């Protein structure tokens, strides 16, 4: 037994000695090669470098969303820990200025991963600071390119654009729908061993994202947003929306939705609701408000369109020859559709009396419309609604679109309520698209918000063109209804939308929300111009504002007051009375702002100066455009000496003497010598060259 134990022990010991001998031999002869192979395998795993996300621009190439270069700060704790303590502390000290962390935090970060050679200590360091950090030449520290997503226009068209979320994905709107184009292709890098050191080699270069060109016009969008925000502040609706579109192509020039948010801070509504209110909200309520703000009311919320649907029914009935333009209608204030059921009332309780078809539309008469609806079978009625696009997607190519609610069978009561635009729901984009088919010759178009997508080589890789989905009504019917709707604006329920010098048609809408009788209404207005060959159509919707406020038509008028001249849509100058209210824009290019202001004032036109300096380089509207008096002309100025600018002080309320003492030698004050200053050119706050004149006007107290 002892011999056996000794023999087994001898064999075990011999094996251990042999294995130790082999390890030493391998280490001495090939150890360096094996070590490099092991390290190479450990360090050769690929890492992804994110591409710069593509830009989103308006139809005139003005930037709406862009990505600016930034850098991730990368540390190699393994390398840093090999340095002497003094050198390590110096690295921590210099690095702390850039990563906004104290030295102790950086030290703890390094010591927490002693074997790591790739640890991200800070993301998205701005480019300017990154350049300074590069200059420090800190060992064990390097920079990796990335980007920050910026939305310079902040809330403008926020729901249409969407945002770039914290998970690195486009969410909502254009950012989500066209993410595959915008995101680009990532680059690939990996660490390798070379001369016993780690070097970083790029396998595949980054391919930055493509540029998305919208149909949206920033100028029109701004007109719309300024107007809508004014009425929202006054009436405080729970939701609101506006769409401006070309009815002949389906191009959307503007899309507004409320409530809104800032895509730069998409998870925070402090600027919209106030910091105190926002901080006081529970997390559940914050989430609810964020979801409401992110939702695009134009495509993701449906409502009963009310009387804005009536022209569509008239067009369908005329096209089916179910009625004649010579038919007459009588309204006594209510109509009984089914015996024993409650009557449906007209908004004018005393009735409209005898009316022509044109007057039924102009007066938005419920009783007349119900009589028109009776002349078509339910099957034909629903066929036209489907042809108009109700109950179907518009295919606008934005995420989250709703179809609305449309019944497949109609009883007498349902057909009567449908005839006045209630009982079914649609989205604003469905309504404006359907309405466009009534005024553009009968063609239902697919609405769109992206015109082209362009890659880094300026090649067009995606292009949208006007798409006719079907012909809904005849051109003859379209012509009749388009001209009928002028009376709505001239003498009917839409008079608030009229603009002197323009032929405008349109239709008001008032829909009582469910449950009926709660006195909560959705008010809307859809209008277009000119009557002959409409080039622009707009839909304004306010959810829950006072019934008789007239806000949608008023808002439409204010928008179009600026939009129509901007689009060079011609005036109708047939009437002398209208001519008296119009003024021709003079040519002010290359003038100094002093001469330009005098010339514009002489023609009863106001102005807004944009830029710095005093030389006019361009203007809008252009020379020769006829616009209503008191309209605003935009004057774009620049300076020949941009380094010699100073801000014009506010001189109003001062005497000439006081003004001269205030400006000293910086400006020359020119004006009457008595009274106090009531106006000045340039205006206060405008940057202009030093030693320029300030022309003032004074008045006696």
**Residue-range domain boundaries for the chain:** 1-43, 48-214, 306-566, 582-638, 643-701
Whether 4 shows a pLDDT value over 80: the answer reads no
CATH number given to 582-638: 3.30.10.20
Neighbours of 674 (CB within 10 A): 10
Most confident of 16-20, 275-279, 585-589: 275-279
pLDDT value for 37: 52
| Pairwise pLDDT comparison (580 vs 698), residue with the higher score | 698
Tokens representing 46 are 């690929």
d(C-alpha 653, C-alpha 701), whole Å: 10
Most confident of 21-30, 42-51, 253-262: 253-262
d(C-alpha 606, C-alpha 602), whole Å: 10
Each residue of 171-208: pLDDT tens digit?
A: 999 999 999 999 988 777 665 555 555 455 556 677 88
Percent of the chain with pLDDT over 70: 91
- Phi, psi of 241, rounded to the nearest 5 degrees: -155, 160
Helix count and strand count (H, E) for the chain = 25, 33
d(C-alpha 431, C-alpha 426), whole Å: 7
d(C-alpha 127, C-alpha 70), whole Å: 5
234 to 243, 256, 524: CA distances (angstroms): 20, 17, 16
d(C-alpha 427, C-alpha 390), whole Å: 9
Work out the average pLDDT over 119-125: 87
Total-model pTM: 0.74
Its sign, for the CA torsion 554, 555, 556, 559, is positive
E strand residue ranges, 311-393: 328-331, 334-335, 344-345, 353-356
The answer to whether the beta carbons of residues 550 and 481 sit under 8 Å apart is: no
CATH number given to 48-214: 3.90.1310.10
Is 643-701 assigned to CATH 3.30.10.20? Answer: yes
E strand residue ranges, 22-140: 47-49, 56-57, 63-75, 119-126
Tokens representing 513 are 């929300």
The class (CATH top level) of 306-566 is: alpha beta
Angle at 241 between CA 240 and CA 243, to 5 degrees: 165
d(C-alpha 559, C-alpha 433), whole Å: 19
Whether 415 shows a pLDDT value over 60: the answer reads yes
The least confident of 87-101, 109-123, 462-476, 573-587 is 573-587
Which letter, b or e, does each residue of 124-163 get, where b requires 16 or more Cβ atoms within 10 Å of its Cβ?
Answer: ebeeebbeebeeeebebbbbbbbbbbebebebbbbbbbbb
The least confident of 82-91, 252-261, 307-316 is 82-91
306-566 against 643-701: fold identical: no
The answer to whether the beta carbons of residues 642 and 611 sit under 8 Å apart is: no
Q: How far is CA 123 from the centre of its chain?
A: 28
Residue found under tokens 């008001």: 508
Residue 632: pLDDT band with limits 50, 70, 90: confident
Residue 575: pLDDT band with limits 50, 70, 90: very low
Edge to edge, the sheet with strand 606-611 lists 606-611, 632-638, 615-620
- Phi, psi of 350, rounded to the nearest 5 degrees: -85, -5
- In this structure, the strands spanning 645-647 and 460-463 are unpaired
pLDDT value for 346: 92
Closest alpha carbon to 639 in 689, 699, 593, 579: 689
Work out the average pLDDT over 154-161: 96
The answer to whether the beta carbons of residues 370 and 337 sit under 8 Å apart is: yes
pLDDT value for 41: 47
Q: How far is CA 250 from the centre of its chain?
A: 17
pLDDT value for 247: 98
Work out the average pLDDT over 393-405: 95
d(C-alpha 9, C-alpha 641), whole Å: 97
Tokens representing 182 are 């915008």
Instruction: List, in order, residues 6 or more apart from 342 with CB less than 8 Å away.
Output: none
E strand residue ranges, 544-592: 582-584
Q: Which residues pair with 170 in a beta bridge?
A: 164
pLDDT value for 578: 47
DSSP 650: -
d(C-alpha 247, C-alpha 185), whole Å: 37
pLDDT value for 534: 96
d(C-alpha 699, C-alpha 701), whole Å: 6
Residue 515: pLDDT band with limits 50, 70, 90: confident
What's the farthest any 2 CA atoms get from each other in the chain? 133
d(C-alpha 464, C-alpha 467), whole Å: 8
Total residue count of the chain as it appears in this document: 701
Closest alpha carbon to 307 in 522, 516, 487: 522
- Phi, psi of 288, rounded to the nearest 5 degrees: -60, -45
- In this structure, the strands spanning 141-150 and 63-75 are antiparallel
Residue found under tokens 């590069």: 134
**Mean per-residue pLDDT over the chain, rounded:** 88
d(C-alpha 651, C-alpha 695), whole Å: 10
Cis (ω within 30 of 0) for the bond into 447?
no
Each residue of 36-94: pLDDT tens digit?
A: 554 444 444 556 677 889 999 999 999 999 998 888 899 999 888 988 998 988 998 98
Work out the average pLDDT over 497-510: 94
Whether 579 shows a pLDDT value over 60: the answer reads no
307 to 80, 229, 349, 428: CA distances (angstroms): 73, 24, 16, 14
- Phi, psi of 542, rounded to the nearest 5 degrees: -120, 125
């Amino acid at each position: 037994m002892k011999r056996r134990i000794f023999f087994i022990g001898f064999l075990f010991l011999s094996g251990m000695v042999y294995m130790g001998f082999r390890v030493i031999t391998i280490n001495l002869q090939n150890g360096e090669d094996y070590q490099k192979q092991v390290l190479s395998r450990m360090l050769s795993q690929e890492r992804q470098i994110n591409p710069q996300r593509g830009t989103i621009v308006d139809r005139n190439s003005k930037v709406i969303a862009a990505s600016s270069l930034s850098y991730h700060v990368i540390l190699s704790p393994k390398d840093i820990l090999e340095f002497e303590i003094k050198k390590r502390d110096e690295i921590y000290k210099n690095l702390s200025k850039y990563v906004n962390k104290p030295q102790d935090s950086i030290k703890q970060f390094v010591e927490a991963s002693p074997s790591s050679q790739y640890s991200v200590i800070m993301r998205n360091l701005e480019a300017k600071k990154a350049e300074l950090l590069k200059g420090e030449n800190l060992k064990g520290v390097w920079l990796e390119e990335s980007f920050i997503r910026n939305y310079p226009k902040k809330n403008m068209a926020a729901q249409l654009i969407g945002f770039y979320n914290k998970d690195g994905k486009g969410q909502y709107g254009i950012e989500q729908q066209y993410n595959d184009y915008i995101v680009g292709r990532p680059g690939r890098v990996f660490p390798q061993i070379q001369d016993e050191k780690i070097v970083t080699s790029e396998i595949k270069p980054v391919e930055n994202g493509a540029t998305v060109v919208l149909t949206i016009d920033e100028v029109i969008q701004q007109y719309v947003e300024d107007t809508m925000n004014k009425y929202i502040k006054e009436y405080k609706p729970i939701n609101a929306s506006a769409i401006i579109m070309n009815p002949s192509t389906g191009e959307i020039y503007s899309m507004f939705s409320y409530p809104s948010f800032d895509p730069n801070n998409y998870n925070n509504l402090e600027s919209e609701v106030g910091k105190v209110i926002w901080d006081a909200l529970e997390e559940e309520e914050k989430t609810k408000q964020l979801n409401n703000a992110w939702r695009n009311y134009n495509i993701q919320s449906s409502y009963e369109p009310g009387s804005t649907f009536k022209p569509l029914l008239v067009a369908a009935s005329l096209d089916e020859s179910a009625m004649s333009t010579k038919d007459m209608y009588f309204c006594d204030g209510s109509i009984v559709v089914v015996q024993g059921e409650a009557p449906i009332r007209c908004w004018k309780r005393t009735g409209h009396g005898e009316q022509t078809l044109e007057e039924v539309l102009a007066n938005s008469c419920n009783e007349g419309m119900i009589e028109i609806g009776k002349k078509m079978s339910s099957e034909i009625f629903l066929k036209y609604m489907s042809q108009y696009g109700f109950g179907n997607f518009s295919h606008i190519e934005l995420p989250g679109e709703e179809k609305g609610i449309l019944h497949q069978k109609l009883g007498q009561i349902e057909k009567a309520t449908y005839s006045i635009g209630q009982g079914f729901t649609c989205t604003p984009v469905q309504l404006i698209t359907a309405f466009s088919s009534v005024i553009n010759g009968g063609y239902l178009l697919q609405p769109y918000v992206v015109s082209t997508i362009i890659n880094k080589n300026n090649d067009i890789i995606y292009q949208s063109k006007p798409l006719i989905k079907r012909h809904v009504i005849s051109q003859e019917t379209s012509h009749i209804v388009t001209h009928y709707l002028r009376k709505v604006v001239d003498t009917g329920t839409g008079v608030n939308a009229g603009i002197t010098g323009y032929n405008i048609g349109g239709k008001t809408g008032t829909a009582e929300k469910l449950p009926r009788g709660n006195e909560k209404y959705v008010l809307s207005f859809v209008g277009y111009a000119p009557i002959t060959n409409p080039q622009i159509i707009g839909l304004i919707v306010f959810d829950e504002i006072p019934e008789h406020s007239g806000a949608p038509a008023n808002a439409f008028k204010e928008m179009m007051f600026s939009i129509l001249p901007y689009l060079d849509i011609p005036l109708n100058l047939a009437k002398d009375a209208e001519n008296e209210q119009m003024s021709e824009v003079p040519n002010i290019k290359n003038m100094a702002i002093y001469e330009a202001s005098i010339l514009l004032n002489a023609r009863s036109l106001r102005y807004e100066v944009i830029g710095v300096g005093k030389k006019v380089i361009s203007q809008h509207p252009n020379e020769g455009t006829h616009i209503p008096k008191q309209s605003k002309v935009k004057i774009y100025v620049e300076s020949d000496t941009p380094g010699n600018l100073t801000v014009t002080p506010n001189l109003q309320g001062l005497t000439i003497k006081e003004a001269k003492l205030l400006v000293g030698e910086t400006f020359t004050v020119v004006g009457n010598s008595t009274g106090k200053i009531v106006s000045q050119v340039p205006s206060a706050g405008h940057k202009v060259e030093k030693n320029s004149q300030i022309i003032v006007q004074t008045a006696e107290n």
